[in-house]
Chains A and B, each alone.
Chain A
Amino acid sequence: QKEVEQNSGPLSVPEGAIASLNCTYSDRGSQSFFWYRQYSGKSPELIMFIYSNGDKEDGRFTAQLNKASQYVSLLIRDSQPSDSATYLCAVRGAQKLVFGQGTRLTINP
């Protein structure tokens, strides 16, 4: 089992809809969770982090964490074509940040 798992996609969502990206992790002791966005040919950039169970909102983005289920998700409301990118989930284990393979998201106008 991989430490951090994501559906590779592609996930296709119509413009204006809600995009839902999911991630599961294996280390029950993980404390910190991150979402990075990576445009094609570019480097990853941090968009959200969450430490506590529940929801954390930042603009159109909401991160959700459920430690009991070892599950973290990212919701993007009012999706825009500019949101089309690969979204990487990252989880801090005992020593380091571990990244998932990423989910490729396409927003269709």
Chain B
Amino acid sequence: DAGVIQSPRHEVTEMGQEVTLRCKPISGHDYLFWYRQTMMRGLELLIYFNNNVPIDDSGMPEDRFSAKMPNASFSTLKIQPSEPRDSAVYFCASSPPGLGETQYFGPGTRLLVL
């Protein structure tokens, strides 16, 4: 079975540009999570969805970040405008029906904002 798919795997952009990260969860999973990982702050939950509905976005750092899940098989995380401090690895994870605990992570998108 295909795991969580993320694209792009690497992104290099300049400050001020819009960045869109994409995620396809595992089929049948109804939870989807977006995380950011840096050396300084570790793995931080940004937002999560259940059945395509955003449940908790308290981890979204500021209004420059937005996430959508238009259907059960696709989600985006957008940063506009991007800043150098947004440089990090962004992971998407999905979880089967239940409490959203057993999370399966995608390979991540490595973002570098110059």
Contact = CB atoms under 8 A, between A and B. Distances in A.
Interface string A87-101: 010001001111111
A43 B6 CA distance: 12
A27 interface: no
B101 A44 contact: no
A32 B105 contact: no
Contact of A95 (B44, B56, B104, B107): B56
A46 B103 contact: yes
A72 B104 CA distance: 21
Nearest to B110: A41
Given A32-B99, A43-B106, A92-B99, A100 B42 contact: yes
A49 B105 contact: no
A3 to B, nearest CB: 11
B42 A101 contact: yes
Nearest to A100: B42
Give the interface size bracket for B toward A.
Answer: 10 to 19
B105 A44 contact: yes
Interface in B55-114: 55-56, 91, 99-108
A49 B43 CA distance: 18
A79 to B, nearest CB: 24
A57 interface: no
Contacts of B42: 99-102
A73 B106 CA distance: 26
B15 interface: no
A34 to B, nearest CB: 7
A96 B56 contact: yes
**Among B42, B44, B56, B106, which residue has the most Cβ atoms of chain A within 10 A?**
B42
7 contacts: A43-B106, A43-B107, A46-B102, A92-B101, A97-B100, A97-B103, A99-B44
